[in-house]
Structure 1
Amino acid sequence: MRHAWAALPWLVRSAVLWSACLVVIVAGLYVLARITGVLAPVAIAVAVALFLAALLDPVLRLLRRWRLPPSLAALLSMLLLVGVLAGVLVLAWNLTAGQFGALRHELTRGLANTRELVTAVLPVNDQQIDRVVGEVRKTLGRSKFDLVAGARTLTEAFGAALLSLVLLFFLLKDGRWMWGWVLTRMTGPNREVVAEAGRAGWRTLGAYSRGTLMIAASDALGIGLALVLLRVPLALPLVLITFIGAFIPIIGATVAGIVAVLVALAAKGPVTALLLLAAVIAVQQLEGNVLDPLIMKRQVRLHPAVLLIVVAAGTFVAGIAGAFVSVPLAAVTWRVVDTVQRRRRHTDPTAPAG
């Protein structure tokens, strides 16, 4: 058997080995995805708690410098977060609640105008578009609302939110003690590697959480200013959609931009829509080339292709919540792996670059 294997060309042997490794990796990823799907509410709750803990870490450290006890500092940090979120939600609801019906109407008009433009520019007719729209509606109509499934989903969401808040409190109160306990269980050189990787991952998560919040605010401000200058109606709901969409890289900003352009097309015509499209592209270019490198730093940056795959995978596993948390988890994972590899190359110069 060994002689038969050695007699094979090296290219065939390499192909067999790489194929076997690929099968093992795909099988492992499949099993991990199934486990994550089953435990999605718990995984999302833990990820959200870590995200919020990294966001509130500067506030917590400031309160600890004022000699406040850990429990009180954690509680005040959480109260600050809840107060800000509640205030923003109440303000946004009071300003935009009555405009979402009009927003839906304007989107319908914008889609109708887009249809007219498509039939005028492309070699398609109304019957072909109606056929495609009918197929889409038929596909969407197959999924009927299940009251039991809806109640279960609502219960899981409420439980995950409550679990996130409880975990957030304990992470803020005892997070550093928990990490120190983990490090004390390490022996030899692994302790320093794990400590450095943990610090790098935590810095990455903090930079991502605070940077994403700042970039979302800047996107909403820039596109909101363009909406006001172009006198596009329903500016406030569109700004809110832009702000929320910025937390889902690439896809969220694209969807928010399309919604804004469709409303501008319906309300003001193609010229205003094109001007708004140019403004949206300019804001996104400013974000990608100036704000993102400046705020996020290089330690958080991932290739756009990686972002698309990660967001798609997170959406497939856990829906919108998965899309929100998939990118910071991927960024932290990459940073931890990169730190471990660099530490290994530093301690062992003969180790492969990886």
Structure 2
Amino acid sequence: MAAEEPGTRTGDPGPRQSWAALPWLVRTAVLWSACLVVIVAGLYLLGKIAILLAPLAIALAATVFLTALLDPVLLLLRRLRLPAALAALCTVLLLLGILVGVGALVWNLTASQFDQLSQELTQGVERSRDFVTSTLPVSEAQLDRLVDQAREGLSGSSPDPVSGARTATEVFGSALLALVLLFFLLKDGRSMWHWVLSRVSGANQSVAAEAGRAGWQTLGAYSRGTMLIAAIDAIGIGLALVVLRVPLALPLALITFLGGFVPIIGATVAGAVAVLVALAANGPTTALLTLAAVIAVQQIEGNLLEPLVMKRQVRLHPAVILVAVTAGTLIAGIAGAFVSVPITAVLWRVIDTVQQRRSTSALVPTE
């Protein structure tokens, strides 16, 4: 007599029968729980890798961002029949000249005012403290306790000299690596992309080419648009501070320009700093007028300039921007906050392009 296979004896149901015998709610919960465990494990592993390779990842992101920003300059030099290496070198030197020149100019004009800026901010915080204790049901002892706890947390999390030196070394190394990679991407970026496309076969090649072109255009539009919008914000708020006779208008305009590269959060922080300085220097009336000017400039930028400059394909929902900035800050600090939004915009544009191509291909009848 042939031996009976496992799971075929009477009263001994097989695995499939046992699984089918479970209620549908239990089966659904098991499947969703297993998927959730796999997703969380994958995200945890990616987070660990991102933390370990944070300097390299930031250098690569900054390189791609600068390449997209400087690509029109490279194309102009190539039209003048300059060799690829010489055009890339001139573009990098132009970038270094602008950064060094602007940095030296700003430092000469504002270095002596940063101590005054710190004092003005301290006085603004003190006036805000008096306003809170006189308006809200919060005593001075409770507010002082909260401030002391915040100071203790900041002092406890401050880096020691060894970690500070290591961080400075990593920043310098990342900046040097970004410059070297920038030269090679400007020089050989298009040939590298053609090599990648040559490894894609069939109909996927045209999809990859279109998705890459859309992502590159999005990154270029974002980088140039963000710089233009940040400059307009800085000029508008700086002029308002000059008209209102708020001191330190140039340093505050510089802070506004840098904050423009971190959407939503950067503009909010820069505006708060300007209002605090106005409150400390000229009182609550000037502070309210400064707040009105900041809100007006940001509303004009968000509702008029951004749709015109950034175009429709680059814009993201504010909720998506907040999540991206928060995630980038948690992973890589300030540098992560700068690069998180352009990465998100490019990924969204690439995915959207691929989905549109697939939908179009599905609608075409096959013969």
Question: Could you say whether these structures have the same fold, taking a TM-score greater than 0.5 normalized by the shorter chain as the test?
Answer: yes
Aligned positions of 1:135-174 closer than 5 A: 135-174=149-188
Q: In terms of mean alpha carbon deviation, does 4-13 or 189-198 score higher?
A: 4-13
Question: Residue type of the partner of 1:230?
Answer: L
Whole-Å separation in 2 of the counterparts to 1:267 and 1:300: 39
What's 2:19 paired with? 5
Whole-Å separation in 2 of the counterparts to 1:244 and 1:188: 45
2:341 pairs with 1:327 = yes
The partner residue of 2:350 within 336, 350, 354 is 336
Offset, 1:10: 4.2
Q: In terms of mean alpha carbon deviation, does 146-155 or 265-274 score higher?
A: 146-155
Q: Which runs of no fewer than 5 residues in structure 1 stay unpaired?
A: none
Whole-Å separation in 1 of the counterparts to 2:74 and 2:97: 16
The partner residue of 2:50 within 36, 39, 62 is 36
Give 1 or 2 for the bigger CA radius of gyration: 2
2:275 pairs with 1:229 = no
Aligned positions of 1:61-210 closer than 5 A: 61-210=75-224
What's 2:307 paired with? 293
Decide whether aligned partners of structure 1 residues 144 and 268 sit closer, same or farther in structure 2, where only a CA change above 3 A counts: closer
Decide whether aligned partners of structure 1 residues 7 and 286 sit closer, same or farther in structure 2, where only a CA change above 3 A counts: farther
The partner residue of 2:270 within 250, 256, 262 is 256
- Cα-to-partner distance string for 1:116-138 (whole Å, 9 max, x where unaligned): 11112111110110110111112
Question: Residue type of the partner of 1:272?
Answer: T
Whole-Å separation in 1 of the counterparts to 2:24 and 2:348: 33
What's 1:247 paired with? 261
SS in 2 for 1:123: coil
Whole-Å separation in 1 of the counterparts to 2:210 and 2:158: 50
Offset, 1:299: 1.3
Whole-Å separation in 2 of the counterparts to 1:151 and 1:190: 47
Whole-Å separation in 2 of the counterparts to 1:337 and 1:21: 22
Q: Which runs of no fewer than 5 residues in structure 2 stay unpaired?
A: 1-14
Question: Residue type of the partner of 1:307?
Answer: I
SS in 1 for 2:138: coil
Question: Residue type of the partner of 1:61?
Answer: L
Offset, 1:24: 1.8
What's 2:4 paired with? none
Question: Residue type of the partner of 2:48?
Answer: R
- Cα-to-partner distance string for 1:211-254 (whole Å, 9 max, x where unaligned): 00000000001111110111101101100000001001111111
Offset, 1:82: 1.1
Whole-Å separation in 1 of the counterparts to 2:270 and 2:158: 27
What's 1:59 paired with? 73
SS in 2 for 1:233: coil
- Cα-to-partner distance string for 1:73-132 (whole Å, 9 max, x where unaligned): 111111111111111111111110000000000000000000111112111110110110
Decide whether aligned partners of structure 1 residues 158 and 130 sit closer, same or farther in structure 2, where only a CA change above 3 A counts: same
SS in 2 for 1:247: coil
Offset, 1:308: 1.1
Question: Residue type of the partner of 1:135?
Answer: Q
Q: Percent of aligned pairs with the same residue?
A: 69
Offset, 1:324: 0.7
TM-score, normalised with respect to structure 2: 0.92
The partner residue of 1:214 within 217, 221, 228 is 228
Whole-Å separation in 2 of the counterparts to 1:24 and 1:121: 51
What's 1:284 paired with? 298
Decide whether aligned partners of structure 1 residues 27 and 246 sit closer, same or farther in structure 2, where only a CA change above 3 A counts: same
SS in 1 for 2:101: helix
2:37 pairs with 1:23 = yes
Offset, 1:342: 1.0
2:279 pairs with 1:265 = yes
Whole-Å separation in 2 of the counterparts to 1:348 and 1:28: 31
TM-score, normalised with respect to structure 1: 0.96
Whole-Å separation in 2 of the counterparts to 1:8 and 1:282: 61
SS in 2 for 1:302: coil
Question: Residue type of the partner of 1:287?
Answer: E
- Cα-to-partner distance string for 1:142-192 (whole Å, 9 max, x where unaligned): 235422211111111111101000000000000000000000111111111
Whole-Å separation in 2 of the counterparts to 1:107 and 1:4: 69
Whole-Å separation in 1 of the counterparts to 2:231 and 2:25: 53
Whole-Å separation in 2 of the counterparts to 1:99 and 1:313: 34
Query: How many pairs were matched up?
Result: 350
Larger relative contact order (C-alpha < 8 A, sep ≥ 6)? Answer: 1
What's 1:318 paired with? 332
Offset, 1:331: 0.7
Decide whether aligned partners of structure 1 residues 285 and 14 sit closer, same or farther in structure 2, where only a CA change above 3 A counts: farther
Decide whether aligned partners of structure 1 residues 148 and 28 sit closer, same or farther in structure 2, where only a CA change above 3 A counts: same
The partner residue of 2:61 within 42, 47, 53 is 47
